[in-house]
Amino acid sequence: MKNILILYATNWGVTKQCAEMLEKQLNQRYTVTVMDIQKERPALSEYDVVILGSNIRMGKINRAMKKLLQEEAEYLSSVPTAVYLCLGYPRQFEEYAELELPKKLTCSLGVHCFGGELKPEKLRGIDKWIVKMVRNSIRTQDFEESDTDHHQLPEILPENIVLLADKIKSLN
Ligand SMILES: Cc1cc2nc3c(=O)[nH]c(=O)nc-3n(C[C@H](O)[C@H](O)[C@H](O)COP(=O)(O)O)c2cc1C
């Protein structure tokens, strides 16, 4: 039976929630371990498949996750690996992936956008204030602009989580 690691980095729980949604898709068939990179640094070699999830803040992936990706890029490129990102601007997903992931990293299971949330009621402090402002600016976009220029409020994208789970299930 395959051993799967889902290692996530979160501030407010959405990236963890996505890790658990992915786990649910897989745990009937495989042994799945879900871990918080800010609490533990697992031995990657103990797993057959490695899934790494990070939120995006101020255009950046989590610092601990970035460090791991840089240090382990060579190893991760040699085993079935996927990265997923949780973010408020899904339309900028490719740009974040391009700028933030090490060039020497090849993810054989792909780099995935799992969406995200901008829900100030779930946050505290400065983050609550920032998310409130971003959310309001999305809601009050100038509707004279063409629709294609508009950002939508983000949501978790369960269909993308299922796509990654299917990719993992198709491994021999
Ligand atoms: C302080 C702060 C900065 C953020 N910066 C970005 C950003 O630069 N780009 C983006 O797409 N989303 C940004 N977001 C949105 C988060 O990526 C989104 O809320 C995500 O769901 C957070 O995941 P988490 O709950 O796992 O931390 C930001 C959110 C906060 C609170």
Give the H/E segment covering residue 67: helix 63-76
Amino acid at 65: M
Residue 144 structural domain: 118-153
Per-residue pLDDT of the chain (172 residues; tens, 9 = 90+): 799 999 999 999 999 999 999 999 999 999 999 999 999 999 999 999 999 999 999 999 999 999 999 999 999 999 999 999 999 999 999 999 999 999 999 999 999 999 999 999 999 999 999 999 988 888 777 666 666 667 788 999 999 999 999 999 999 7
My answer on whether 71 and 144 are in the same domain is no
Specify the pTM: 0.95
Nearby residues of 147 by Cβ (< 8 Å), 6 or more positions away: none
Protein residue with least CA distance to atom 21, ligand 1: 116
My answer on whether 37 and 57 are in the same domain is yes
Protein residue with least CA distance to atom 15, ligand 1: 88
Ligand 1 centroid to Cα of residue 172, in Å, is 35
My answer on whether 140 and 164 are in the same domain is no
Query: Rounded to an integer, what is the distance from CA 163 to the centroid of its chain?
Result: 14
My answer on whether 102 and 163 are in the same domain is yes
| Structural domains of the chain, count | 2
Identify the residues whose C-beta falls under 6 Å from ligand 1: 10-15, 55-59, 86-89, 92, 116-118, 127, 130-131
